[in-house]
Amino acid sequence: MLTRTLQLLTLVAISASAAGAQTSDDGLMIAKRTLAAGVVYAHDRWDQYWEGTLKRTNGNIGTLTTQSTTLVAAYGVTERLGLIASLPYVRTHASQGVLHDLNGFQDLNITAKFRLLGTGPTRHGALNAFIAARAAVPVGDYTPDFYPLSIGTAGRRASGHLTLDYQSNSVWFANASAAYMWCSNVRLNRNAYYTNGQLYLTNEVVMPNVLDYTLSAGFNRGNWRVPVTLVQQRTLGGGDIRRQDMPFVSNRMDYVRLGGGVMYGLPKNFAVQLGAAHVLSGRNVGQSTTFTSGLMYALHL
Amino acid sequence: MRRSLLVAVASCAVALVGGCDKSIGPFEVLPALDPSSLDPAAGSWHMILLTGPTQIAVPAPATVTSAAYVAELDAIKTSQANLTADQRKTIAYWSGGGVMRWNQIVRELVARYNLPPAPKDEGGYPVPDAENPFGDPAFPFANPVYAARAYSYVSAAQYDALKSAWYWKFQYNRLSPAKNDNAIIALIPISGLPSYPSEDAVISGVTVEMLKTLFPAAVEEVTLKAAEQRNAALWSGKATASDLAAGLALGKSVAAVFLARAAGDGMRTAGGSAVLWKALADSATARGEIAWVSRDIPARPPMLPLFGQVRAWNMTPADIVAERPPPPPSTGSQLMKDETAEVKRTVEHLTAAQLAIAQKWNDGAGTYSPPGHWNDVALEYVRDAKMSEVRAARVFALLNMAMNDAGVGCWEAKYHYFNPRPSQLDPSIKTEIGIPNFPSYTSGHSTFSAAGAVILSYLFPGGATSFAAMRDEAGISRLYGGIHYRTDIEAGKLHGERIAGYTLSYAQSDGAQ
């Protein structure tokens, strides 16, 4: 079985690495009156993207690289309730063309996670259900009007998550999760924009809400945890990128991404994680490959 | 306690995104038009292309006591007795004023078609083809100068058509059906303006014919809109079928005059050829200057290099050359180095306020373009002044003729000097907005904006301070964006003001003051 420290550090790591992907769904809880903190670095790059459904390259972008460094902290309020906070610093860069890099603090994420139901240990393993609520607020004064170099949507978001987790009596685990995210409208610095077949004579942009589905499976053994994760994001509205147009903040950004990782618990309450993910299919997003690495520390209060 | 904490977080989260209603709009609302003046003398205002208001003859209408006219009145009553909610919405939409509504529609078309062709897999770029407007690339690429010309043709044609309509209206003096028959309800404000020929039908006819050529792939949509506009006039008690038929015919005939000019104004060949593109570069090199090179990857042919030879509205080709700004600083000069360094310093230390200005006036690919931005600005003044359709058309015609001529003059200068962008002279300069694919000197934004501000300040003196501020902001936005030197902006502003002077002279003696 997974050591307790690694378990909670894993939770934090997953939470942080998903900062850009709006999902934090897994079957772990943080131990009561334990504080964990860490930093996760992610390196994401693509040189092909989907313009609507058309996959293409773009000489004026070349390879788009997004690097993020995320500070993350989690605290176990009770055995059943945990709080997680994360804040990424994001930097984007296009390898070709004249467009300027952007960088800055993105959005502060706060998540409250609650273990709703659990079977406790049984002959066949343990089944638990979790719910979580998450809020994200932009902290930096960054622009959402410079995609694909913008570091975020600059909108406020709130999401509800439901997770079912199964842990076998041996080393295997599997979980499934769904999340619905409400996105606030965002404001641009210009008073007219064209998207989704219409000219809008306002600086306000309606942001479509987002559904995420996550399936994850793997094993826990001793100091090791090795998950494989499949994420599908479905944006509930928004227009496609037009032919040879720049992407726009409210585009319908859909993808299916497969990822895997390794987490390892070090002595003295430290843990490290490495991960990789790749977008298998998408719409109005880059076909990115992401590598993550993280270091966490736990403090039992 | 845990549950309440979770509920608290969840409810904070919902409050955070502002609840569930995210709907926006409507935008640029147009209340039902109730003009402060009928402008009965508009039939004598000076024409732009027509030889006079009677160049297109409109036959005399049937009398109000004729059986044919009475039958038309009865048809309106039948329609009014069976109006659906959708029909009432159509009436409300078009009651805002045909000239302003079509201005909104044309801005939308420009934004839709203002996208450059995507590169071909085998290299190079396809050329938008008017004979295949639905293809990839779509036709047109409504870039800033294409847009300037399109706005000007639509506006100028509407203006001449309405002046002619006004002449015939007051010639025949047949009032609207709601005034002639008490049983017909005026569903919108209906003035004492004679309704034969119908101004709504004139606008619909002239505009659709212009748009069929300028934006051929939008033919279905604009044809439906135009039919709606005429139906709205009928259903609302404003015009009978014969008012509409006469107006439609007049509008189409006036459009034919403008389309004949458009066919031969030089636009068709403004793209030039590979030989010309090389000659332009060679000419700059021969003068000892660094020639402009496209910043697009792969390099894209220069945008409409012969647009500077397209016919202007109020300037002769000799005027265009005579008003050309003096040369920019030599690309090898210390001044040019200093100006390039200023661009770099600006983008590397850009404030949030400066970025906001760069984005506000970006008006780049996929937008209604800088001339569209000034139409956007003008519309609120036109609306608030409660202008008659013909006077509203005058505003947009003067504004857009001046901006078209600014585009012609600016392009003539750009391709005469073929001056490189800051990021060409210093490739370490990265831009905060997309970089336009044409030479740097002078700034198109500055030229368009200066011309627009001159015309609007003449027409709406109360807004002059605001127009000047917008003009300067639009100009400096290009330095903040990292795509123009200060000299481009300053020279463009002076150039745009001189060019607008020609349209201003026309306006000052057009009989409409």
pLDDT in tens, B243-298: 999 999 999 999 999 999 999 999 999 999 999 999 999 999 999 999 999 999 99
Tell me what percent of the residues of chain B surpass a pLDDT of 70.
96
ipTM, 2 dp? 0.94
Q: Residue B359 and residue A242: Cβ atoms within 8 Å?
A: no
- H-helix or E-strand containing B286? helix B274-286
A·B CB contacts under 8 A: 152
What's the token pair of residue A166? Answer: 């199964």
Distance CA A83, CA A134 (A): 10
Chain B residues with CB inside 8 Å of A75's CB?
none
pLDDT band at B15 (very low <50, low <70, confident <90, very high): low
Q: Provide the mean pLDDT of chain B.
A: 96
Q: Residue B115 and residue A244: Cβ atoms within 8 Å?
A: yes
pLDDT exceeds 70 at position A258: yes
Q: If DSSP codes are grouped into helix, strand and coil, which group holds residue A105? A: strand
A66 forms beta bridges with: A44, A92
Mean per-residue pLDDT, B84-104: 98
Q: Residue A136 in contact with residue A108, Cβ under 8 Å?
A: yes
Residue A19: per-residue pLDDT: 35
Structure confidence by residue, pLDDT tens digits, B110-166: 999 999 999 999 989 999 999 999 999 999 999 999 999 999 999 999 999 999 999
Residue A20: per-residue pLDDT: 34
Distance CA B326, CA B317 (A): 17
Q: Residue A133 in contact with residue B15, Cβ under 8 Å?
A: no
Q: If DSSP codes are grouped into helix, strand and coil, which group holds residue A260? A: strand
Chain B residues with CB inside 8 Å of A48's CB?
none
Structure confidence by residue, pLDDT tens digits, B452-496: 999 999 999 999 999 999 999 999 999 999 999 999 999 999 999
Residue A32: per-residue pLDDT: 84
pLDDT exceeds 60 at position A25: no
Nearest to B296 by CA among A149, A101, A61, A248: A61
Tell me, yes or no, if A192 comes closer than 8 A to chain B by beta carbon.
yes
DSSP string, B412-460: HHHHHH-PPPHHHH-TT--BSSPPPSS--SS-HHHHHHHHHHHHHHHH-
pLDDT band at A300 (very low <50, low <70, confident <90, very high): confident
| Strand A126-138, strand A107-118: pairing | antiparallel
pLDDT band at A222 (very low <50, low <70, confident <90, very high): confident
Task: Point out the residue among A56, A135, A145 whose CB comes nearest to the CB of B16.
Answer: A135
Distance CA A146, CA A99 (A): 9
Picking from A33, A83, A98 by the largest number of B CB atoms within 10 A of its own CB, the best residue to mutate is: A98
Structure confidence by residue, pLDDT tens digits, B396-406: 999 999 999 99
Cβ-proximal residues to B107 (8 Å cutoff; 6+ apart), any chain: A192, A199, B368, B372, B375, B376
Distance CA A194, CA A183 (A): 20
Picking from B7, B16, B379 by the largest number of A CB atoms within 10 A of its own CB, the best residue to mutate is: B16
Residue B331: per-residue pLDDT: 98
CB-based burial label for B330 (10 Å; 0-12, 13-18, 19+) = middle
Q: If DSSP codes are grouped into helix, strand and coil, which group holds residue A41? A: strand
What's the token pair of residue A21? Answer: 């992907």
Secondary structure percentages of chain B, helix, strand, coil, to 5: 60, 0, 40
